Structure 1
């Protein structure tokens, strides 16, 4: 069975003075749940997992699990370009109480599809909770092909795929393997309704960090048959979504959350603050959408 349907937020990791800001993280979690988010994804790409050491990573996921307290599923990012390390992290996050794991493709190595299948199978063989594959070749340099999906979807511990290739032709091919045991999730906020039309059941979303209720409602509308309203909402979000990717994720969305007063404007290098030009665009689209009231950019 699927880990969730609807809108899952790829939650940011707030920092303060170089450390994870757990009080702010707790506030974000409560705000997300109060605005009807359907799942929380901790320590994924948007959560800057690549700059968290293992201890911080596990502690952040554990804190999230304890704070959520079973109200929605918590899915923990556990991907690595080292299969042995991915297994180690997966077991630690499973022990911490994660409901499932999000497993990005191995980055930098540029493994073959044969190696990719072996990588995922080796991890899935060691865990007891569901895993969602995560294909984002623009970020990692490695694509999960439809053939690889056709093999991996048969594994009992592989429960779905977050498809963020941006290639709708590939999505159509992968959608052939969607079932009650293997879920298809959008990894591109601006293609969510299109992917739902191919049999998807939800989205793992960056923009949900700032508009969780709207993302929840958009997917809910589509899944309940109100396709016209879902399409309308998708189109209305488009400019805001574009602004959230004006620079590499999560730079814009963390800037947006800072403008909303929810987190400090702090990143870990090599991530850094957006340019003034980007910040003005981010604020403009937030104002246009109604996320923030009018006030000077600072």
Structure 2
């Protein structure tokens, strides 16, 4: 259902408020540079620091500015099932193509609880769901058997997964467990190449915020089975993938954008702080290595 380079968009702020003008400009640039989808209000979008009203406005602006040129997978996750459902209903009405639903964090639900949570969302909203598994942040792992059970139970509702578990065997496990093609998106830029080789269809990417054209070109090389070109691009991007997490995300990504464009600043919201000097050095070196500055 989804493929290619799909940036998990940063949310620009100016003097503590959502900077709508810059966000619209960022969206246009992303689409012009070849991004094949957009994810507002994910982890990189600092969704955890947005009020519900801000969250919905960011999604609304993204959908409006994209204007059907690329699909919008709107962040809808919450550790409260009812709050996640409220996000999904709003995003469906706003025109999102799907909702990115992270495993409930902090609560640490069992696999039975995860099945109940995602089943409830699938049964009470007709917005397609992209599961988001990121155990390093949620302390909850959506196990392979759980994914398979949910997709078999709701094949028209649960349409994809963003896997940031770091376990590449899961791509094959999901493929073997399902009797249908299932859209698998990498949630780790540095693992995008082997994830694609194993059967993934793209990446919800942090690095694509800063290097959308290179990330789009990398995807095209992988899709064409041009591994020589894909490895060249991967080597060019690899330091950037790591630099994006040289400090608490998305501080390095926002700093990198401010280096690439003078119309973007590096403002973040507490408890995230601006990138440290060490992180800035790592980003500067990675940008130079990638030929972006």
Q: TM-score band, normalised by the shorter chain?
A: over 0.9
Provide runs of 4+ in structure 1 moved above 3 Å. 177-181
Give the secondary-structure state (helix, strand or coil) at the position aligned to 2:6.
strand
* Structure 2 unmatched runs, 5+: none
Query: What is the aligned-residue RMSD (CA, Å)?
Result: 1.3
8 Å CA contact 1:162–1:187 kept in 2: the answer is yes
Where do residues 103-252 of structure 1 align in structure 2 (5 Å cutoff)?
103-154=101-152, 155=154, 156-177=156-177, 182-252=182-252
8 Å CA contact 2:171–2:199 kept in 1: the answer is no
8 Å CA contact 1:80–1:104 kept in 2: the answer is yes
**Residues 34-63 of structure 1, C-alpha deviations (whole Å, 9 max, x = no match):** 101100011111000011111111111111
Structure 1 window deviating more from structure 2 (166-175 vs 196-205): it is 166-175
- Give, in angstroms, the shift of residue 257 of structure 1: 0.8
- Give, in angstroms, the shift of residue 223 of structure 1: 1.3
8 Å CA contact 2:12–2:264 kept in 1: the answer is yes
**Residues 185-238 of structure 1, C-alpha deviations (whole Å, 9 max, x = no match):** 000001111111111111100000011111111111111221222122212211
* TM superposition score normalised by structure 2: 0.95
8 Å CA contact 1:184–1:200 kept in 2: the answer is yes
Give the secondary-structure state (helix, strand or coil) at the position aligned to 1:242.
helix
8 Å CA contact 2:89–2:127 kept in 1: the answer is no
Q: Distance in 1 between matches of 2:179 and 2:270?
A: 40
8 Å CA contact 2:41–2:58 kept in 1: the answer is yes
Aligned to 2:86: 88
Structure 1 window deviating more from structure 2 (172-181 vs 48-57): it is 172-181
Aligned to 2:60: 62
**Residues 98-140 of structure 1, C-alpha deviations (whole Å, 9 max, x = no match):** 1111011100001101101110111011121211000000111
Give the secondary-structure state (helix, strand or coil) at the position aligned to 2:198.
coil
**Residues 15-45 of structure 1, C-alpha deviations (whole Å, 9 max, x = no match):** 0011100000011001001101100011111
* TM superposition score normalised by structure 1: 0.94
**Residues 44-103 of structure 1, C-alpha deviations (whole Å, 9 max, x = no match):** 110000111111111111111111100000110000001111111110111111111101
Q: Distance in 1 between matches of 2:35 and 2:178?
A: 23
8 Å CA contact 1:208–1:215 kept in 2: the answer is yes
* Structure 1 unmatched runs, 5+: 293-298
Aligned to 2:285: 284
In 2 relative to 1, CA 263–178 (structure 1 residues): closer, same or farther, beyond 3 Å? Answer: farther
